[in-house]
């Protein structure tokens, strides 16, 4: 039995003094011991609910104007051209680099929304799971907990038009997609890897295909979907299906706590209440949504409705849970011209409310027993660097606010996944070798 040493561990009801976590052979917490005092502060590891790993390599490469009305749709063309260059080896190298960065920043679980399935010309690899296995190997090599979400991507729009040339490596028919899920569940499901399902979006998955796939999934499968990210998507859904996308989904699928709705940026009042009442999680990706000009999620209304939410780094123009949480709050301040928006009646601290939010949704969205550092959960934890000047004179009531709002240094000193320390003094144990592989692969790719 391994042990995480004594620390002050954060829970929604306060900091627990002198907590020692005893961890079993599966990385789960077998016993919590209390007693004594310590200055070391530990928070639960954070789940990254939305990731497109390959896009890490193009971060900062789509910031030149290509059209006077640049938007998500023009950015998407740049992304498609970039995606054409990826091989399985490149994907592994980029994902491994990304995952080391996530672990060092405080993400201990990643939900990988994976649609880069086939060769660039759209033909499946001899092993159709080749690209999925590259991601699984990258997670294994770095020690991050993974929920792999292979994506069903079938059509180019709500009108059912076929995929464009640049989209062909993403596509599956229903039978091929279900075979991929079955193969991955059979060969790779374990304590560190869960296999879920991702429907790319309502525009990319016809209604009949959605129903067939949902009927075939295991009862505990996690289901993620992009939805209502763009106002144009909302308009097209109304024109073709006669309803706004979130409302259509709520009316046509049994949306519950297994579901994660990614972005859900453009909602009306009924949709805000409907998602909250369903028990689903919204994955909000503030830095990517800002980078793409998507808009702002209706956070205060959603919190008032009792909705569940988490964060994702999506296109990875930032790999920092602190920045995602900070800008989730700051976006609300800018649009309302008020301060301290994400609070509750029981907690006036924005930091506490934000960390409690990502903690509460982690298990249902990822499928892993994580988020609370309680008995039976996986021992995924962050040790904060309380020796940093940012924490000078820190008190319980302001510790998380200081972590999130007081500076730009990474204040995660250690990262533990399943009771195993993978980041020490802010550095992943294999960072240098993984970075060298990443540089070689990206330089080769860009030279082609």
Burial letters for 353-386: b for 16+ Cβ neighbours within 10 Å, e otherwise?
bbbbbbbbbbbbbbbbbbbbbeeebbbbbbbbbb
Which candidate in 224, 263, 428, 437 is catalytic?
A: 263
Sequence-separated (6 or more) residues with CB below 8 Å from residue 405: 326, 350, 351
Sequence-separated (6 or more) residues with CB below 8 Å from residue 346: none
CB 222 within 8 A of CB 367: yes
Q: Which token pair is 256?
A: 């519950």
Does the active-site annotation cover 277?
no
252 by Cβ neighbours in 10 Å (0-12 / 13-18 / 19+) ranks as middle
Does the active-site annotation cover 188?
no
Query: Which DSSP string do the residues of 80-92 spell out, in sequence order?
Result: HHHHTT--HHHHH
CB 131 within 8 A of CB 185: no
- List the one residue out of 277, 263, 258, 262 whose CA is nearest residue 218: 258
Q: How far apart are CA 373 and CA 334, in angstroms?
A: 34
- List the one residue out of 11, 7, 100 whose CA is nearest residue 383: 7
Query: Residue 203 to residues 53, 149, 159, 409: CA-CA distances in angstroms?
Result: 22, 18, 8, 40
Q: Which token pair is 214?
A: 């949902």
Q: How far apart are CA 228 and CA 66, in angstroms?
A: 24
Which candidate in 114, 172, 294, 314 is catalytic?
A: 314
CA dihedral 31, 36, 38, 42 (to 10 degrees): 20
Phi-psi region of 160 (alpha: psi -120 to 50; beta: other; left: phi over 0): left
Active-site residues, by number, are 263, 314
């Amino acid at each position: 039995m391994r042990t995480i040493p004594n620390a002050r561990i954060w829970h929604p009801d306060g900091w627990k003094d002198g907590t020692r976590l005893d961890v079993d052979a599966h990385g789960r917490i077998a016993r919590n011991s209390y007693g004594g005092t310590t200055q070391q502060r530990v928070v639960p590891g954070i789940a990254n609910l939305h990731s497109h790993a390959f896009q890490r390599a193009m971060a900062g490469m789509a910031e030149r104007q290509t059209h006077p009305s640049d938007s998500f749709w023009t950015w998407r063309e740049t992304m498609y051209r970039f995606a054409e260059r990826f091989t399985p080896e490149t994907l592994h190298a980029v994902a491994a680099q990304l995952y080391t960065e996530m672990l060092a920043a405080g993400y201990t679980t990643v939900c990988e929304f994976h649609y880069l399935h086939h060769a660039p010309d759209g033909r499946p690899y001899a092993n159709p799971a080749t690209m999925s296995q590259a991601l699984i190997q990258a997670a294994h090599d770095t020690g991050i907990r993974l929920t792999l979400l292979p994506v069903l991507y079938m059509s180019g729009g709500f009108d059912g038009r076929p995929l464009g040339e640049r989209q062909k490596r993403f596509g599956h028919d229903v039978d091929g997609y279900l075979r991929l899920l079955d193969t991955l569940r059979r060969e790779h499901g374990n304590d560190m890897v869960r296999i879920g399902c991702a429907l790319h979006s309502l525009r990319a998955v016809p209604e009949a295909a959605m129903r067939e796939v949902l009927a075939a999934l295991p009862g505990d499968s996690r289901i993620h979907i992009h939805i209502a990210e763009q106002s144009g998507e909302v308009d097209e859904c109304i024109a073709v299906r006669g309803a706004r996308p979130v409302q259509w989904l709520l009316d046509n699928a049994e949306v519950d706590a297994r579901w994660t709705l990614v972005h859900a940026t453009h909602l009306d009042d009924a949709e805000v209440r409907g998602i909250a009442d369903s028990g689903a999680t919204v994955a909000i990706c503030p830095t990517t949504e800002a980078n793409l000009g998507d808009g702002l999620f209706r956070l205060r209304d959603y919190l008032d409705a009792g909705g569940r939410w988490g964060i994702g780094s999506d296109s990875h123009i930032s790999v920092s849970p602190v920045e995602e949480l900070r800008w989730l709050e700051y976006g609300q301040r800018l649009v309302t011209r008020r301060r301290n928006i994400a609070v509750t009646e029981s907690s006036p601290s924005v930091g506490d409310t934000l960390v409690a939010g990502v903690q509460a949704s982690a298990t249902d969205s990822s499928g892993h027993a994580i988020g609370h550092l309680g008995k039976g959960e996986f021992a995924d934890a962050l040790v904060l660097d309380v020796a940093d000047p940012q924490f000078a004179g820190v008190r319980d009531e302001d510790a998380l606010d200081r972590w999130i709002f007081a500076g730009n240094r990474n204040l995660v000193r250690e990262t533990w996944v399943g009771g195993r320390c993978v980041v020490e003094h802010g550095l992943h144990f294999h960072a240098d070798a993984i970075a060298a592989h990443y540089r070689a692969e990206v330089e080769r790719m860009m030279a082609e």
